């Protein structure tokens, strides 16, 4: 974790932005994911949250996906088996 913390600190000094995606966000985050988010917050880095691994959307303030054009998108496909 220390190398990542150092990189996040450097990124903050360079006014960087974090793009963040995590599989199955409805499930409890792993301790590592929690530590990553904590380190991002400690460095006061802006974050672009995405519900898709290709970052083709962002999560808006209301928690719903929005496209790169700022318009609402359909939700990502569910991982639930039918």
The domain locations on the chain are: 2-67
Q: How far is C-alpha 69 from the chain's CA centre?
A: 18
Digit-coded pLDDT (tens) for 11-54? 999 999 999 998 888 899 999 999 999 999 999 999 888 888 98
Instruction: Provide the 8-state DSSP code for 73.
Output: -
pLDDT of residue 75: 54
Question: What are the CA-CA distances from residue 41 to residues 46, 56, 61, 64 (Å)?
Answer: 8, 23, 17, 21
- Are 20 and 49 spatial neighbours (Cβ–Cβ below 8 Å)? yes
Does the pLDDT of residue 74 top 80, yes or no? no
Digit-coded pLDDT (tens) for 56-72? 888 887 888 887 777 77
């Amino acid at each position: 974790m220390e190398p990542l913390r150092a990189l996040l600190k450097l990124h903050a000094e360079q006014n960087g932005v974090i793009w963040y995606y995590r599989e199955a966000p409805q499930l409890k985050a792993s301790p590592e994911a929690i530590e990553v988010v904590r380190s991002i917050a400690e460095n006061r880095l802006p974050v672009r949250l995405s519900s898709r691994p290709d970052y083709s959307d962002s999560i808006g303030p209301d928690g719903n996906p929005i496209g790169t054009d700022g318009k609402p998108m359909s939700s990502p496909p569910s991982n639930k088996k039918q």
